[in-house]
Amino acid sequence: MPLNRRLAALHRFAVVALLGFASGLPLALTGQALQAWLTVEGLSLATIGFLSLVGLPYTFKFLWAPLLDRFDLPWLGRRRGWLVLSQLALAAALWALAATAPRDAIRAFALLALAVAFLSASQDVVIDAYRTDLLPPPERGLGASLGVMGYRLAMILSGGIALIWTDAAQGGGWTWPEVYRLMGVLMACAAVLSALILPPLPPLPPSREKPASAAGDLRGFAAMLAAVAAGVWASDRWAPGLASALLAPLLAGGSLPAALQQRWIDLAALLLGIAFTLPLAAWVARRAGFETLLGGLRGYFSQRGAGAFLLFIVLYKLGDAFAGSLMTPFLLKSMAYTSAEVGVVNKVLGLWMTLGGALLGGTLMLRLGLWRSLMLFGLLQMASNLGFWWLAVAGKGVLPGATLPPFDWGFVKLAAATPVDGGLLMVVAFENLSGGMGTAAFVAFLMSLCDRRFTATQYALLSAFAAVGRVWVGPLAGVLAESIGWPTFFVVSTVLAVPALLLLLQLRASVQALELPPPGTAAED
| Per-residue model confidence as pLDDT tens digits over 64-84 | 888 888 788 877 777 888 999
Q: How many helices (H) and strands (E) in the chain?
A: 24, 4
The answer to whether 404 touches 418, Cβ cutoff 8 Å, is yes
Per DSSP, the three-state class of 377 is: helix
Q: Could you give the count of Cα atoms lying within 13 Å of 487 in the half-sphere of its Cβ?
A: 6
Question: What is the per-residue pLDDT for 243?
Answer: 86
pLDDT recorded at residue 518 = 45
399 in Cβ contact with 423 (< 8 Å):
yes
- What is the reported pLDDT for 123? 94
At 522 the pLDDT is 38
Predicted local distance difference test score (pLDDT) of residue 90: 96
Q: Are 307 and 265 in contact (CB under 8 A)?
A: no
pLDDT at 519: 43
Is there a contact between 257 and 192 (Cβ–Cβ < 8 Å)?
Answer: no
Distance, in Å, from the CA atom of 182 to the CA atom of 164, rounded to the nearest integer, reads 14
Closest to 397 in 3D by CA, of 354, 335, 308, 454: 335
Q: 495 and 319 in contact (C-beta within 8 Å)?
A: yes
Contact indicator for 51, 38 with CB cutoff of 8 Å: yes
pLDDT at 411: 58
Cα separation values, 309 from 125, 275, 280, 424, Å: 19, 21, 24, 35
pLDDT in tens, 482-501: 778 888 888 988 898 899 99
Contact indicator for 284, 346 with CB cutoff of 8 Å: no
- 3-state secondary structure at position 426: helix
Separation CA 218–CA 289 (nearest Å): 10
Q: What is the C-alpha to C-alpha distance for residues 353 and 435, in angstroms, rounded to an integer? A: 9
Separation CA 519–CA 508 (nearest Å): 20
Alpha-carbon distance 469 to 325, whole Å? 9
Burial environment of residue 1 by CB neighbours within 10 A (0 to 12, 13 to 18, 19 or more): exposed
* Cβ contacts of 321 within 8 Å, gap of 6 or more: 469, 470, 473
First-to-last CA distance in the chain? 10
8-state DSSP, 516:
S
With beta carbons less than 8 A apart as the criterion, state whether 46 and 479 touch. yes
CA distance 488 to 130: 41
- Domain ranges for the chain, please list them: 3-198+290-514, 222-282
Residue 493 CB coordination number (10 Å): 26
CA distance 196 to 84: 10
Flag whether the pTM goes above 0.75.
no
Q: Count other Cβ atoms within 10 Å, centred on residue 211.
A: 10
Fold of 3-198+290-514: Growth Hormone; Chain: A; (1.20.1250)
Q: What's the confidence (pLDDT) of residue 468?
A: 66
**3-state SS assignment for residue 420:** strand
Note the Cα 455 to chain centre separation in Å: 18
DSSP secondary structure letter of residue 450: -
Give Cα separations from 181 to 88, 99, 186, 489 (angstroms).
13, 9, 9, 35
Amino acid identity of 451? D
Q: Computed from CA positions of residues 436, 462, 310, 138, in that sequence, does the dihedral angle turn out positive or negative?
A: negative
Query: Residues 6 or more apart from 221 whose CB is under 8 A from it?
Result: 64, 66, 67, 290, 293
> Which residues in the chain show pLDDT less than 50?
518-525
CB neighbour list of residue 344: distance below 8 Å, 6 or more residues apart: 160, 164, 404, 414, 418, 420
Distance CA 469, CA 342 (A): 24
